[in-house]
Structure 1
Amino acid sequence: WQSIRTGQAVPAGSHVRLNLQTGDREAKLPDSENGKSDPREERRRKRLGKVDIDSNSFTSQELKKALAKMKESEKAERKAHEEEVRKKFRPIEQLKEEFEKLNVKMETDYEIMVKLISKFNSSASTLDEKVAALYDLEYYVHQVDNAKDFLSMGGLRLVIDGLNSTEAMLKEHAAFVLGAALS
């Protein structure tokens, strides 16, 4: 242990202590640098099978090759997983064709929302049909993607028109649609 003055720099990793008998600060280099071995380091080496790896033992080319092999194996695993998923599920186009053969038409949420908006905006729609359209729209716009689509297709104008309506039911359901879209 060597005494150090206030503000004096010591090498990184040094042990520092306050000598309670003299009141001096003292420092020393770690034991492994003094020729002594650290017992914790010895235990770690025994656990690892006394394998010492020199950081300079691999060339950059060897590391690049190893990294390339890792990337190739990852790509192969990803492709195998994709093939496995393809075997389990059919593509949407094939499902649409099969549903058409059964006279069942699949509609996306976007297509359904377009129909509901046109039903609400139709002058031939009754008050009950408009309320039903708003009620159904509230269900669809809870999802973030549908809310974004609703906004892009002019749904905000629909909500504003509903809020400015003289019918209390339209105002109420338009407010619900607005709240669902904002959430």
Structure 2
Amino acid sequence: MSVAKLVDRENQENGGKDWIVEEFLAFSDDNRFDCSDVLFPQPYFELSNAFVSQDNKVSLKHLHKFLKKWYKDLAGVPWHDTHKADGGYYRYWSFEAACSVILLEINDDKELYDYLYYPKDLIAFYHSFNPTAGEENLLNKYNRIAIKAGEKAPQSGYWFTVASNNSRQYFNAGEILPEIKKQDWGEVYWQFEKEE
């Protein structure tokens, strides 16, 4: 849900603008916006076609078409061709293709390995990752609750904000998390640390 909030923005002004974004987010939220527009048909039309079929073989054919044209069709984006300049290059990855493989539950993606932009190692890690109980607790430790200033604390405990030094303080559930006025900071969020 936190990704959806980032995409939608505060007033949900971005919600329902792009079919692919809505399709990705609908896997974890059935109450997403209805949308039929693909804002950037090149190269994303083929990616959208991958989601239309229930047959993974058909979906893979569309993923092939998508990856084949992915880099060329994104020629207008700021990072395009940065590998030709000095510095700033960190490789190109089609994370949207990886996301599609995961969401479509395609377990055999080896035929996509030939595409330089396909993050096959990320998918291999995804398929092999099985956290133990201790690792799950470790992962949960970093999934912090973050609430916008001016809203009620959903849980009693210690809260802090990176918008202010030494901000750690105890709030009871239902108390309003205070605003902090800082020039050029933007929205302030309080993060839950622990109950005691």
Bin the TM-score by the shorter chain: under 0.3
TM-score normalised per structure 2? 0.25
CA radius of gyration, larger in:
1
TM-score normalised per structure 1? 0.26
| Richer in helix (by share) | 1
